Amino acid sequence: MTDINPHEGGRPATRPARAGRPDGRDSRGQGRDSRGQGRDFRGRDFQGRDGRSPRSARSTVDRARQAAYEAIAAVHRDDAYANLVLPAILLDMGLHGRDAAFATELTYGTLRALGTLDLIIAAAAERDVDRIDPPARDALRLGAYQILHTRVPAHAAVSSTVDLVRAVAPGATGFANAVLRGITAKDADGWVEQLAPAYEADPIGHLAIAHHHPRWIVRAFSEALGGDLGETTRLLIEDNEPPPVHLCVRPGRADAVKIADQVGGAPGAFSPYAVYLPGGAPGELNAVRDGRAHVQDEGSQLVALALAEAPVDGDDRRWLDLCAGPGGKAGLLGALAAQRDAHLTAVEVAEHRAALVTQAVRGMPVTVLATDGRTVGRDEQLPAGGFDRVLVDAPCTGLGSLRRRPESRWRRQPSDLPPLTRLQRELLGAALNAVRPGGVVAYVTCSPHTVETHVTVTEAARRSGVSVDFVDARPLLPAGMPGLGDGPTVQLWPHRHGTDAMFLAVLRRTD
């Protein structure tokens, strides 16, 4: 498993620790009360900025809730990624089995539902959540999630959260108790009825609150689904489910059916290389450790395979992956290149991610370049017209994989779109310059936002100065795959295909 978020433009997956906490580790879980002191979830005191002495404290909070609180606090305090910080916390605390599963459910569920939970907390507290101290606020979010969305009895959710607040923000114990009791007055549907606009008057606004997504994302999904609100609702529901874990069994190195048997999983429904895992820690599987397989969503496999399937006239040996880090698709394309006597050049601008690509393609006919993909035509290793197949798996908002990054829906903003789409256009323009006439380019995003998909492709093709035709991408996917639309582009969906919402456009250069 990689420690890199593939949708970020070269940014490490855990953002750097704040000044004064160089390793990020000592700071985890700490909360500060209003006097600048606080305690971490294990009751250890830390000294306030005012230099007063530590106090002694004992936490009575169970360890699964402590772990969840610590992860949620790290996400909000340190801009950490939950999918990375939580496993580290579980390991650190020695939590396994049911405790680890409960901590994961609480962390992921709370972070996914955050926007709606905050509205409910604000209503019960009669104050905006911004006016609640961060440690108490995160504990309240965790408590509200348990009350409204788990089978934990309300009284247990309230008392365990009050214990937590006592440990991390002692001054707010009475306040938290009152707010939590207020929240128990209604169930989740009752709160949605009180706080959301009526569906008939404002369906997007209603769905956003009822299914825990920012409004602009619901609107973008709805647009990408042609305004079908029923399908949009199914997508939102799917986005709130735990994500499946898929393996890609590398072509020529092992057989997916055999690996599925070995790991107690199931062969994928669509990709011949996919294995659906039953759970557990994929990084510990022998097949992953020894390079026969890597963790990769089936949708990512399908779009990479589509590039390899697209017909090209003449030579077919020079392949290019223009945005390769951390190396999932390069690992699959590199294994195919080995079988087809081709060679892959894998480009990644961020050096630490280029190093991950190098690891991912070990033993394959792949050259990794840590450089900017937009230097096509200016870098002798990236000659204009020098490639037969080119993949642009562009940096994007990642709205198609919200299941995997529970906090990202609330972090992403519409203002992220203009710089990303500019970069997407430039990278696709570079790819169209890199491919030779008769060769093909696959443009891929893990976002269904039409500004990142159709608009980018149309604009980049228009501005590129080369002539291109769209190739119908549907026949490049497995025969009989349902729900691929009218072409020529393809949009995969979690609720239709069980994959991330990958977009694929295939273009052939004609001059």
Q: Verify binding: residue 353, ligand SAM, rule CB under 6 A.
A: yes
The DSSP code for 9 is: S
Whether residue 331 is annotated as binding a ligand: the answer is: no
Q: Verify binding: residue 9, ligand SAM, rule CB under 6 A.
A: yes
Whether 346 and 327 have beta carbons less than 8 Å apart is answered as yes
Whether residue 327 is annotated as binding a ligand: the answer is: yes
Task: Output the DSSP codes for 120-153.
Answer: HHHHHHTS-GGGS-HHHHHHHHHHHHHHHHSSS-
Q: Verify binding: residue 29, ligand SAM, rule CB under 6 A.
A: no
For residue 446, indicate whether it is catalytic.
yes
Tokens 């239709």 — which residue?
496
User: What is the SS3 assignment for 319?
Assistant: strand
Q: Which of 348, 388, 407, 500 binds ligand SAM (CB under 6 A)?
A: 348
* Of residues 138 and 348, the one with the C-beta less far from ligand SAM: 348
Whether residue 483 is annotated as binding a ligand: the answer is: no
Q: Find the shortest distance in angstroms from Cβ 477 to ligand SAM.
A: 17
Question: What dihedral do alpha carbons 58, 64, 69, 71 form, nearest 10°?
Answer: 130
Residues 323-342 that bind ligand SAM (CB under 6 A): 323-329
Whether residue 196 is annotated as binding a ligand: the answer is: no
Whether residue 429 is annotated as binding a ligand: the answer is: no
Q: Find the shortest distance in angstroms from Cβ 193 to ligand SAM.
A: 39
Whether residue 325 is annotated as binding a ligand: the answer is: yes
Q: How many angstroms separate the CA atoms of 166 and 176, rounded?
A: 9
Whether residue 328 is annotated as binding a ligand: the answer is: yes
Residues 368-397 that bind ligand SAM (CB under 6 A): 372-374, 393, 395
Q: Verify binding: residue 438, ligand SAM, rule CB under 6 A.
A: no
Of 21, 24, 110, 17, nearest in space to 65 by CA: 110
Q: Verify binding: residue 147, ligand SAM, rule CB under 6 A.
A: no
Whether 266 and 259 have beta carbons less than 8 Å apart is answered as no
Q: Find the shortest distance in angstroms from Cβ 322 to ligand SAM.
A: 6
Q: Verify binding: residue 494, ligand SAM, rule CB under 6 A.
A: no
* Of residues 249 and 427, the one with the C-beta less far from ligand SAM: 427
Q: Verify binding: residue 294, ligand SAM, rule CB under 6 A.
A: no
* Of residues 327 and 448, the one with the C-beta less far from ligand SAM: 327
Q: Find the shortest distance in angstroms from Cβ 407 to ligand SAM.
A: 18
Q: Find the shortest distance in angstroms from Cβ 256 to ligand SAM.
A: 18
Whether residue 393 is annotated as binding a ligand: the answer is: yes
Q: How many angstroms separate the CA atoms of 177 and 163, rounded?
A: 10
Q: Verify binding: residue 223, ligand SAM, rule CB under 6 A.
A: no
User: What is the SS3 assignment for 446?
Assistant: coil
Q: Which of 3, 10, 466, 472 binds ligand SAM (CB under 6 A)?
A: 10
Peptide bond into 488 cis (omega under 30): yes
Q: Verify binding: residue 166, ligand SAM, rule CB under 6 A.
A: no
Whether 140 and 180 have beta carbons less than 8 Å apart is answered as yes
Q: Find the shortest distance in angstroms from Cβ 354 to ligand SAM.
A: 9
Half-sphere exposure at residue 179, Cβ-oriented, CA atoms within 13 angstroms = 30
* Of residues 252 and 419, the one with the C-beta less far from ligand SAM: 419
* Terminal Cα distance for the chain, rounded: 41
**By CB under 6 A, how many residues form the interface with ligand SAM?**
24
Whether residue 348 is annotated as binding a ligand: the answer is: yes
| Long-range Cβ contacts of 175-179 (<8 Å, 24+ apart) | 175/125, 175/136, 176/136, 176/139, 176/140, 176/143, 179/121, 179/124, 179/125, 179/140
Q: Verify binding: residue 460, ligand SAM, rule CB under 6 A.
A: no
Q: How many angstroms separate the CA atoms of 256 and 266, rounded?
A: 9
Catalytic residue among 446, 471, 473, 484: 446
Question: What dihedral do alpha carbons 260, 261, 264, 267 form, nearest 10°?
Answer: 30
Q: Find the shortest distance in angstroms from Cβ 35 to ligand SAM.
A: 42
- 389 strand-pairing partners: 319, 440
Q: Find the shortest distance in angstroms from Cβ 352 to ligand SAM.
A: 9
Whether 351 and 321 have beta carbons less than 8 Å apart is answered as no
Whether residue 238 is annotated as binding a ligand: the answer is: no
* Of residues 364 and 427, the one with the C-beta less far from ligand SAM: 427
Of 432, 504, 444, nearest in space to 469 by CA: 432
Residues 404-433 that bind ligand SAM (CB under 6 A): 423, 427
Q: How many angstroms separate the CA atoms of 107 and 89, rounded?
A: 12
Q: Which residues are annotated as a binding site for S-adenosyl-L-methionine?
A: 323-329, 348, 372, 393
Please give the residue ranges that form the binding site for ligand SAM (CB under 6 A): 6-7, 9-10, 300, 323-329, 347-350, 353, 372-374, 393, 395, 423, 427
Which residues belong to the active site?
A: 446
Q: Which residues are annotated as a binding site?
A: 323-329, 348, 372, 393
